[in-house]
Chain A
Amino acid sequence: MQSKTPSPGVTMEKQIENAIYSAIDQVNQHLPPAMALSKSPSQPLMGNGSKLDSIALVNLIVAVEQSLQDFLGVPLALADERAFSMTRSPFRDVESLGLYIQELMNERTSTT
């Protein structure tokens, strides 16, 4: 495991996106090419249009958590109670996942 040092001037939003895309790269290594995820905000992760089965989704979420720690140095558990109680799951696509992580990060900053 290698930590990446965030480049100065890179926004948190961009770092989160980089972390998610890095996790997608990792997960794609274990998916058949036809199932590979694209590095795009509109890439579905859950529900209609998603190519991931439940185990692949678990793998992706855990890879994102580890990637966030590498990129931002922050240990986060993404699957908290709120994530599962939201009417619209934050895991539905890459964009919603990024926004959810940003929300968690903002809360973390305001409480520390």
Chain B
Amino acid sequence: MSELRPHKVMLISGARKGIGKFLAEHYLTGGWHVVGCSRGSSDLQHDRYRHLQLDVTNEQEVVKMMGDVRKMEGRLDALLNNAGIASMNHFLLTPASTAENIMRTNYLGTFLLSREGAKLMRGNGGGRIINFSSIGVPLRLEGEAAYNASKAAIAELSQILARELAPFSITVNIVGPTPIETDLIKNVPKNSLERLLRRQAIPRLGSFADVANVTDFFLRPESCFITGQTIYLGGVC
């Protein structure tokens, strides 16, 4: 388990369920103070866990939330931009509203949380931002044009942030999970999923622990020289 310093504070977006909730529990076990956020409430109970409700695409709400984190915790050491939505559809049948919603939640949410989170990290001498992409980006999966475009935008954003935030000792890296048993893939047809898995070097579904293994690595103090990097799971490159 990674250790940055005593009383380290992590913010995880999309922490109400799925990977976000698992990571919140994982890092609580590791001794972190964890602030989770999502649009809905959380049933996670822990004396070092706080949950804040907001829309990550609303700039004012994000600014206010980060102010609340500063008041409550006084610092931020790590930000895991896990919140995301997906929609699978043929490009010719994808409504503009779907493309816009996906881009707002996945890209704009990551943008706003990173910007305000980095401001807080600057005050405590540095930190770690970990953004979430997908193996769909290098595989250029059909039916995921809007989703993958938003994830590709996150990768580009992260690589530029890695350079702009390096003077503040903030690293920015990306984890690209394979499909995992979450709500995000519940509507993906079984044959499509099997076809996708066959394109991985290791053809199986990922697990929450596989993701945590990568985030642990990026959070390690020894990883302070690693920034702007993407690690895809399942042997996809």
Contacts and interface: CB of A to CB of B under 8 A. Distances in A.
A66 B167 contact: no
A59 interface: yes
A3 B119 contact: no
Contacts, number: 25
A65 B60 CA distance: 13
Interface stretch (B66-74, B128-136, B226-234): B66-74
B59 A77 contact: yes
B63 A1 contact: no
Interface string A1-23: 10100000000000000000000
B60 to A, nearest CB: 8
Contacts of B138: none
B59 A1 contact: no
Interface string A59-71: 1001001100100
A78 to B, nearest CB: 10
Contact of B119 (A1, A55, A66): A66
A108 B64 CA distance: 14
Nearest to A65: B119
Nearest to A1: B74
Given A1-B123, A62-B119, A66-B70, 15 more contacts: A1-B70, A1-B71, A1-B74, A1-B75, A3-B71, A55-B167, A62-B122, A66-B119, A69-B70, A75-B60, A75-B64, A76-B63, A77-B59, A77-B63, A77-B116
